Amino acid sequence: MIAELGLAALWLAAALAVLQLSCGALSVWSGADNEIAQLTRPAAILQGGLVGTAFGALLWVFGITDLSVKLVAMNSHTMKPLIFKLSGAWGNHEGSMLLWVTVMALAGALIAAVERRLPERTMQATLAAQGFVALGFYAFLLLSSNPFERLAQPAPEGLGLNPLLQDIGLALHPPTLYFGYVGLSVAFSFAVGALVTKQVTPAFARAMRPWILGAWTFLTLGIAAGSYWAYYELGWGGYWFWDPVENASLMPWLAATALLHSAGVLASRDALRVWTIMLGVVAFSMSMLGTFLVRSGILTSVHAFAVDPERGSFILFLLALYIGGALLLFALRAGSISEGERFSVASKEGALVVNNVMLSAILAVVLLGTLYPLLTEAFDIRVSVGPPYFNPVSAIFVFPMLAVMAVGPLLRWRRDNWGRISRELALTAALTIAAIGLLAVIFGMAVLPLLGLSFAFALGVASFLPLRGRKLTRVPLATWGMVIAHFGIAVSLFGMASESAFSEERLAALEEGQQTSVGPWQVRLDGVEPIAGPNWTALSGRLLAAYKGGEAVEIEPQSRNFWAPPQQTTESVLVTRWNGQLYAVMGGEGVDGRWQLRLWWKPFVTFIWYGGLLIALGGAFALVGRVRTDVKRRSAERRIAARRRDEEAML
Amino acid sequence: MRLALALLAASLAMPLAAQGEVPPAPYAYRQLDDPAQEAQAQDLMETLRCLKCQSQSIADSDASMAGDMRHQVRIRIAAGEEPEAIRRWLMDRYGDYVSYEPVMSATTWPLFAVPALLVVIALLLFSRRFRRRS
Amino acid sequence: MSWRLWLPFLVFFAFLGLAAYQLTQPRDDVVKSAMIGEALPYFDLPPAVSEQPGVASADFSDGRPRLLNIWASWCLPCIAEAPQLEQLKEQGAEIVGIAIRDKPEDVARFLSQHGNPYARIGRDDLSEVQLGIGSSGVPETFVVDGSGRITYQHVGDIRPEQVPILLGELRKAER
C-alpha cells in the first residue's frame, strides 16, 4: 500500500512537471504577466511535496523490509541493522535516482517559493527549464527504473547489500553528492532561463550564486567523504585512484569551482557574462556525464554500480536532450549577449580569469584522460590512463593556479598595481622558495610532493593575508568563507604531499607474540580469534600498537566474511594521532601458522580530509554571508520602494 | 558454542577454497629487504593494472593473480632489473592496457598534445585579453 | 567570434556519437594476449601429478602443433569445458595442460572426476608461465605451432560450438 502511494505520488509529480514546463514556456512566449504564469510556481512547490512523499514511502518499505517490493528483496536483508536498511534505500540504482529527483524537486520548490528578485520572465523561463529537466528524470524513474515495483510472490528473504556498502560512509556519501549535482541543476536552469531572455545581469549572478555555493559545498563534502570511505574501506591505504567514477565526481566540482568564481565577477563587476553562462551549462553537464559514466558501465571502474546498457541509453538520451539543447541554445544566443565590463590584468578579475582558465584546463585534462580509453576502444585498442598521467599533467595547471590563488585575493577590483601589494608578493614568493630549498636539502623529495608541501606552506600563510590590517569583527562573512576555503586547500594539499612523501609500509608475517615496526610505531600481534557479527563472521586480530615506546593501544583489525551476499572484506583499523594515522589490516593465515599483517604509518594523512572539511566550511560561511546580505539588500530595497510610493501618494 | 565455531570455521574456509589453496607467492605479501628496491617496486606496482580486478592496481588488490604479479615485480627488481624494463616486459605480454602510464604512441599522442595545446591556448588568451586593454 | 560559440556543442556532439556507438557494442572485458605470433618464453615446469610428465617450452619445438590449456582444479568454468577438451583430444589434438596455483591431490581428483585429456601437465604455482604468455585468467587455451610459436588464443571456457574453430586453428598452425 505504502509502495503504491509512493508510485502514485511520483506519477502526480511528473504530471505537475508537465504543467510547470508548459505554463512557464507559455508565459515566456506570451509575456510573463498573465494567469498562466500564476500556475508555474505552485506546480513546482506541490511537486516538491509529492516527491518528498515518494521518498518517504521508499524509506518506509526499506525500514520495515517489505520483501514484496522487488527493490527491497534485491538489495536488503532482514538481519541488517536499521541504519543500513535505511541507507540501503539509496545504495542501489533505483533508490539513488529517486533520491536525486527528490533533492531536485525540493530545490525546485525552494526557488519557486523564495526567488523573486529576477525579472519575472527570466524566472518563468528558469522554472520551465527546471520542470523540463525534472520531467526527464521522472520519465527515467517511472519507465525504466521503478523503485516501487512489486514481486508477484514476496521473497522469503532479501539478497542483502554489498558489505562494502554497509557503512556509515554510504549513508552520507551519495546524498551529499546528489545535493551537489542537483544544486548545479538549479544553476543550469538559471543559465538556460537567462539565455532565453538574454538578461544576464549582476542580479542574475546573485540569484544563482547561493545555489552554486551550496552545490559546491556539498560536492566538496561528498568527494571528501567518498575518498575517506575508499581509504579505510578498501584496505590498501589509497584515497584517490583517478578511477573513472572518482573523476566523475571531481569534474563537476572543478566546473562548479570555476563557476563560483566567475559568478562572483559577474555579481560584483558585471563582467564575464557569456563565460559564466557557459560554465553554468558545463557544470551540470559534468554531473550528468558522471551519472552516465557510472551507471552505463561504459568504463571499467572499481566502484561498481549495478550497470545496465539500457539505462545507459536512457541517460544518454537525457544528456543529448538537455545538454545538447542547452549548448545549441548557447551557440545561437550567446553571440548577442555582450561581454560586459572590461578590466586590467592586475586586478581581482584578472586573477579570477587566470583561475578560471586553469580550472578549465584541469577539467579538460581530467575529461580527456577519463574518456580517452572509450575512444581507443572504439578502434579495439585498450589503453589505461591512470595516476602516472593525471598527477603530473594536472600539476602543470594546478601549481600556477595555486600561485595566483595566493595573491589574487589581495588585488582590488577593476585596476590595481603590483607595487601596492609588493610586500605580500615578496613574502609569498620567499616562503615558497625557502620551503622548496629546505625540503629538497633535508629530504631530497620527488618533485610533486616537494612542490606540494612548499606551495601548501606558502598558501597556508597567504590565505590569511586578505585579513591583514582589517578589523576582524567587521570582515564580511563571505570574505571569511574565502579565507577558510583557501586555507583548506593548503591544508588538504599538505596532507596529500605528506602522505605521498612520508608514508611507510610494513608487510609482516607474525606468529602470536611477535612484533614488528612501521615508522615510529611498534606493533605486537597478541592473538587472533574468531568472532561473529549480525550478518558476518570474522577473524579478529588483537594488536598492541605503541607510538615511540609510549603506552600501547589495543586495536582489532578483522578479516570479515559476510554470507548475504557471500563476500570477504577487510575491516582495517585506524589509530589517529594529530600527526598522522596508523593503518592496520589483517590478512590471512600463512602456511607456517603466521598471520599476514599490512601496516602503514601515514604522517598527516588526515589533513587531506580536514582540509576538505575546511573548504566546505568556507563554502557554508560564504553561503550564509551572501544570503544574509541579499536579504538585507532586498528589505532595504522594499523600504525604499515603500517610501517612494508614500511620497508619490502624498504628492 | 562448539557448533557455532565449527560453522564459523566452515564459512571461513569457503572463500579460501575458491581462490585455490596454494599459499600466495613468496613475495606477494613480503617486502624486499632493501628499502630502496622495495620503494622502486612499490612505485612500479602502483602503476600496473590488476588484470583480474575492476580497475585496481596490483598494489591494491587481494586477487591471487595480483599477488603473483607483485611477486614477479619484486623478484625482478631484486635481480637488478630496471622498473621500466619490467613494465616493458608486461606490456609485451598484455599490451598497453596493463600499464596505467600511457606511453606516447600513434594511438595515445592526443593525451599529450591536448595538454600542450591547452598551455598554448591559455597563454594566448592571457596575452590577448590583457594586452588589448592595458 | 560566433564560430567559437559552436565549439562546445560540437565537442559534445562528438562525445555523444562515441558514447552511443560504445553503448551498442557488447561490453568486452577480455584482455587479449600480445604474444600471438611470438615464440613461447622459456620455461620448465615440474609435473602437476606424479603419473604424467611436466611441461617445458622445449617440448613444443618438435614440429607438431599443440593446444596449451591453462586451467585449475578450483576453477568452475574448467569443469564446463572438460567435455570439449575430451572431444578435441578424440579428434586428434594434443593437449598440454598447465595447472595454475594447484595442489597435486586436487589436480588428481579433478582428472578422475572430469576426465584427463592432457598429454602432460605442468605445475605453475606462481603463475609464471601464465604471465609469460600474456594470459589473464583461467581457463584459456593457446594454439602453439610446431616451432613453439603462439598462433591463437581462446579466452574462457571452450563451448561445444567452438571446438571446430580450435581444430581449424590447429590445422592452420600445421602449415
Which residues of chain A lie closer than 8 angstroms to C19, CB-CB? Answer: 292, 296, 298, 316, 374
Q: CA nearest C26 in A: which residue? A: A309
B41 located within any domain: yes
The shortest CB-CB distance from B111 to any of A389, A509, A570 is to: A389
**Does B82 share its domain with B113?**
no
**Does B23 share its domain with B52?**
yes
Distance, CA of A38 to CA of A19 (rounded, Å): 11
Q: Find cell 589490516 and name the residue.
A: A585
B30 located within any domain: yes
Four-point Cα dihedral A140, A145, A148, A150, nearest 10: 140
C13 located within any domain: no
Mean pLDDT value across residues A195-204: 88
- pLDDT above 90 covers what percent of chain A? 50
Report the pLDDT value the prediction gives residue B4, as an integer from 0 to 100: 35
Residue C1: pLDDT above 70? no
C24 located within any domain: no
Residue A41: pLDDT above 80? yes
**Does B93 share its domain with B38?**
yes
Helices (H), A79-201: 82-87, 93-114, 120-144, 168-197
Residue A297: pLDDT above 80? no
CB count in 10 Å sphere of residue B54: 13
CB B47 within 8 A of CB B99: yes
**Does B91 share its domain with B33?**
yes
The structural domain count of chain C equals 1
C169 located within any domain: yes
Report the pLDDT value the prediction gives residue A305, as an integer from 0 to 100: 57
For A607, list phi and psi in degrees, rounded to 5. -60, -25
Any bridge partners for residue A576, and if so which? A581
B111 lies in which domain range? Answer: 103-134
**Does B19 share its domain with B69?**
yes
Q: A436-449: per-residue pLDDT in tens?
A: 888 888 887 888 99
Report the pLDDT value the prediction gives residue A32, as an integer from 0 to 100: 56
Given a cut of 70, the residues of chain B with pLDDT beneath it are 1-21, 54, 130-134
C27 located within any domain: no
Mean pLDDT value across residues A364-386: 92
B81 located within any domain: yes
Q: A235-250: per-residue pLDDT in tens?
A: 888 899 898 889 999 9
Lowest mean pLDDT among A471-480, A506-515, A528-537, A574-583: A528-537
Report the pLDDT value the prediction gives residue B5, as an integer from 0 to 100: 33
C-alpha cell belonging to residue A23: 505554463
C161 located within any domain: yes
Distance, CA of A503 to CA of B59 (rounded, Å): 15
Q: Give A202's contacts (C-beta < 8 A, 6+ positions apart).
A: A266, A267, A268, A269, A270
The shortest CB-CB distance from A374 to any of C2, C12, C18 is to: C18
Mean pLDDT value across residues C40-46: 94
Which residues of chain C lie closer than 8 angstroms to A244, CB-CB? Answer: none
CATH number at residue C157: 3.40.30.10
- pLDDT above 70 covers what percent of chain A? 97
CATH number at residue B15: 1.10.8.640
Helix, strand, coil share (%) of chain A residues, nearest 5:
65, 10, 20
**Does B17 share its domain with B59?**
yes
**Does B84 share its domain with B117?**
no
Q: C91-135: per-residue pLDDT in tens?
A: 989 999 999 999 899 999 999 999 999 999 999 999 999 999 999
Four-point Cα dihedral A471, A473, A478, A482, nearest 10: 60
Mean pLDDT value across residues A615-638: 91
Report the pLDDT value the prediction gives residue C65, as an integer from 0 to 100: 93
Partners of chain C (3+ Cβ pairs below 8 A): A, B
| Residue contact A383–B130, C-beta within 8 A | no
B3 located within any domain: no
ipTM value for the complex: 0.89
Residue A300: pLDDT above 80? no
Q: B30-42: per-residue pLDDT in tens?
A: 899 999 999 999 9
> Which residue of B29, B49, B94 to mutate against C (max C Cβ within 10 Å)?
B94
Q: C76-85: per-residue pLDDT in tens?
A: 899 999 999 9
**Does B97 share its domain with B107?**
no
| Strands A515-518 vs C66-71: parallel, antiparallel or unpaired | unpaired
C11 located within any domain: no
B20 located within any domain: yes
Q: CA nearest A295 in C: which residue? A: C23
**Does B97 share its domain with B122?**
no
C70 lies in which domain range? Answer: 33-174
Mean pLDDT value across residues A93-106: 90
The shortest CB-CB distance from C74 to any of B17, B65, B68 is to: B17
Which residues of chain A lie closer than 8 angstroms to C12, CB-CB? Answer: 285, 323-324, 327
C-alpha cell belonging to residue A612: 576538505
**Does B108 share its domain with B95?**
no
CB count in 10 Å sphere of residue B103: 14
- pLDDT above 70 covers what percent of chain C? 99
CB contact residues (below 8 A), chain A span 381-420, against chain C: 382
Question: Among candidates C131, A143, A37, A252, which has minimal Cα distance to B94?
Answer: C131
Report the pLDDT value the prediction gives residue A303, as an integer from 0 to 100: 61
Residue type, A513: G
Sheet with C150-155, strands from edge to edge, namely C118-124, C95-100, C66-71, C140-144, C150-155
**Does B15 share its domain with B67?**
yes
Q: A464-484: per-residue pLDDT in tens?
A: 999 988 888 889 999 999 999
B95 located within any domain: yes
The structural domain count of chain B equals 2
For A296, list phi and psi in degrees, rounded to 5. -85, -15
For A516, list phi and psi in degrees, rounded to 5. -145, 175
Question: Among candidates C160, C120, C158, C125, which has minimal Cα distance to C139?
Answer: C158
3-state secondary structure A21-62: HHHHHHHHHHCCCCHHHHHHHHHHHHHHHHHHHHHHHHHHHH
| Strands A580-589 vs C140-144: parallel, antiparallel or unpaired | unpaired
B1 located within any domain: no
Lowest mean pLDDT among A22-36, A570-584, C122-136: A22-36
Any bridge partners for residue A532, and if so which? A537
**Does B113 share its domain with B64?**
no
Interchain CB contact of A279 with C (< 8 Å): no
Residue type, A518: V
Q: A306-327: per-residue pLDDT in tens?
A: 567 778 889 999 999 999 999 9
Question: Among candidates A290, A288, A128, A108, which has minimal Cα distance to A196?
Answer: A128
Interchain CB contact of B110 with C (< 8 Å): no
Q: A129-164: per-residue pLDDT in tens?
A: 999 999 999 999 999 889 998 888 888 888 777 776
